[in-house]
Amino acid sequence: MPKIMGNSLAEHRERTRRALFDALSDLLAQRPFDKITLSDVAARAGVGRTAVYNHFTDKEDLLLAFMEHETGRYAKELTRILTNVEDPIDRLRIYVRQQALIKRHYHFPSGGPLANSVSRSTAGRLHAHAGYMTAMLTQILSDAMDSGAIPRQDPALVIPLIHACVLGGRPTPTEPRARAAYLDALDVFVLRAVGAPTPDHAVPVAPPTHATEAARSAARAAG
């Protein structure tokens, strides 16, 4: 009989799910999704392969549950950070910096290699998960426009351009000085793109989130 993790069956199921999510996250940082098997995930999580099927029907079902869990947690953490920042331009700067810091490790796969490795229906649901971030950035830009901080513009047109700039292109450097220079340049570039003057103060420091800590750990392991 499999060993129960926790004091109850419900706690055991939750711990097993978290172990599977952590295992999938680690593996995604190492190789493409289509090169990962459920046996790989089970072995990394320290559970039997049959245990995976007690929670998920297949590998794509696991991926969707993982993405929903991670995006939901990250969105809540970032929302708490931004709630304490009054200036919408500073909220935009924090949002951009947070996204840049996690993009090596964390995935909002509305497109790209991960979405291309799954079925069309799964890719569509992955795209829906990216809506968390789109809604958050829409609110930030709307507040900035309402306050007169930036000119009126259509968020539906601007947001894909911002995300392409932040999440696409070169990886965020891991070497401290190179990373600082890159993040400062990104800050100035995005502000100019939306028509905001560059503030005379630095980007407000945000407390670490689960996602940024995971990205930092992955960068240390890779470097």
- Cβ of 122: how many Cβ atoms within 10 Å? 20
Q: Does 122 share its domain with 16? A: no
2: CATH: 1.10.10.60
pTM of the model: 0.74
71: CATH: 1.10.357.10
Token reading at 123 = 């890719």
Decide which of 56, 78, 96 is a domain's last residue. Answer: 56
Q: Does 98 share its domain with 199? A: yes
Long-range contacts of 187-193 (CB under 8 A, 24+ apart): 187/93, 187/96, 187/97, 189/165, 190/92, 190/93, 190/96, 190/162, 190/165, 190/166, 191/89, 191/92, 191/93, 193/158, 193/161, 193/162, 193/165
Which helix (H) or strand (E) segment holds residue 107: the answer is none
Q: Does 82 share its domain with 178? A: yes
Q: Does 130 share its domain with 157? A: yes
Q: Does 44 share its domain with 66? A: no
How many domains does the chain divide into? Answer: 2
pLDDT digits (tens, 9 = 90+) for 95-125: 999 988 876 555 444 444 555 666 666 666 6
CA dist 141 and 144 (Å) reads 5
Q: Does 79 share its domain with 14? A: no
Q: Does 66 share its domain with 28? A: no
Q: Does 72 share its domain with 41? A: no
Q: What is the domain extent for residue 22?
A: 1-56
The mean predicted confidence, pLDDT, of the chain is 83
Predicted local confidence at residue 124, as pLDDT? 65
Q: Which residue has the higher pLDDT, 170 or 101?
A: 101
Q: Does 157 share its domain with 171? A: yes
Predicted local confidence at residue 219, as pLDDT? 52
DSSP 86: -
- Cβ of 179: how many Cβ atoms within 10 Å? 15
Predicted local confidence at residue 114, as pLDDT? 57
CA dist 177 and 134 (Å) reads 30
Q: Does 217 share its domain with 200? A: yes
Predicted local confidence at residue 111, as pLDDT? 43
Mean pLDDT of the region 170-177: 86
